[in-house]
Structure formats: structure tokens, C-alpha cells
Structure 1
């Protein structure tokens, strides 16, 4: 799909848990059959400096958690890290939706708070982690997103 503004995606994302990757990564992901934690920073993150990323350091694949979409807490934190953060013209993204049967395996950002891991980065109410590899059999939908804009959406 093509969008002009990040809010055009919200109807597709609300209530869901999903991972975002540059579309150019999809062939390697398909070949591997899974998403893998970036524990050793083998892949540069498009979401900023993840050297001290809470879920990365726990051996997790990071996911956006929009199950709380629209709540006051979600609204307070959602714009700190948008799924479209690195979407630009000629740089499409792919959104991979996690099936509900795997939600019980997700680690909450609340562990960051309980452990007072303030020196590590996490987006409260919006980010969650999946420990270890995520087989593509647990990805129920793939959405390619493009933009004609020169600016980040």
C-alpha cells in the first residue's frame, strides 16, 4: 500500500503486534525462515541507536504492541517511535504481524520498570519483545508500505 502520512496505517495496526523491517531485508528473512534477535548488533537498526536496547540485550526480537492503541498511555509514548520512522520514497518497509497464539510468549516493557533498567532503551506501552527466534510460521500477515514523500512519515 502507499501512504502519505503515518496515521493512514493506524486502522491496519490497532490491536495488533507487529515487527517492521526494510523491505530489502525480506528475502534474507524468508531464506532464514525466521526473525532473529539482533543480540550482537549484526544488523544496523533503522530505529536509532539500539546498543542499549532493552529487548535486544535480553535476546528478544522487538515488536510494536498496538493492543493498547488509543489509550492515554499509548498516546503518550507511541509517537516516540513510529513504525514509519524510516519510510521514505524508494525505501519501502514491510510490516510482519504476529499471530495471537504467540502473544503469551511476549515479554512486557514492564520488566524494564521492575528491574529499574533506566540505562536501557524501551518504549513503554508500545514495545514488546519475543525471546529468541520468531519462526515465519507465526507471522500471519505481511504488509508492504511505500511512500512517495521525500520526508519521513
Structure 2
């Protein structure tokens, strides 16, 4: 997890790298939720697994505890993104009940996701980066099951 302050990043010229890291992580999170959420509709509940994934051509940062992403997920991401390596930063399971139920999950110090069940067949996914809304997507529950 990169927790460098803005001032520290500016001094070392890392501001762009941290920003790119965050954008890539946020995008990978959205794709992971869309492609790899594991919904199981039991009595109207939607059971999901949300993963924050980091894509890179290099190795994970020294001293990090990031785990390589499972091959099945890595292969799916590799079809969409150009990176060679994918690391799991955080994983969380969530249950979304019926229509109108909303859950907000903190995936890292800078990344949050909000899941809202609009109706029986539609899920709204909002990504927040550093407290600001960065992306909103509506996805059919049926598409998540694939």
C-alpha cells in the first residue's frame, strides 16, 4: 500500500506514479467487481466478492504483502489490460439484500466502493478515490454471474 504524503511524493517526483497507481487500482477494482464478483442469489440476497487488484509490469513494492492474483482472474484481466503481473491488494465479501440495499466498502486508505441494488436485475457500482466519486457503472446481475 502506498501511503506517501503529497509533499513527500512531490519532493521525489512520485506524484504522477502514485496518481497512476491509484487510477490503475481503481480501474482494476471496477473490472474485478464486474468480471469476478461471485453473486449467488439465495432468497433474494446477492453474495459478492470484491477485490482490489494492482496491475503492473514489475514486481510488487518491496516489503509489501501483496499476493499474486489467481490464474483464472489474471487471465481474464490480461485480455483487457496490458500488464504482465496482477497482485491482490485487498479482498472482501459482501451480501447485498433486496432492492435498495446499499453497501460501502473501504478497500484501501484511498479506495472505496459503493454497491447498490437498484432492482432484482441491476447493480450500481460507484468507485471513490481519495473520497471523491471517480466512476459510476450500472451492471446487470446476470452479467456478473458469467
Q: TM-score scaled by structure 1?
A: 0.26
Higher strand residue share: 2
Q: TM-score scaled by structure 2?
A: 0.27
User: Between Structure 1 and Structure 2, whose CA radius of gyration is higher?
Assistant: 2
Higher RCO structure (Cα 8 Å, ≥6 apart): 1
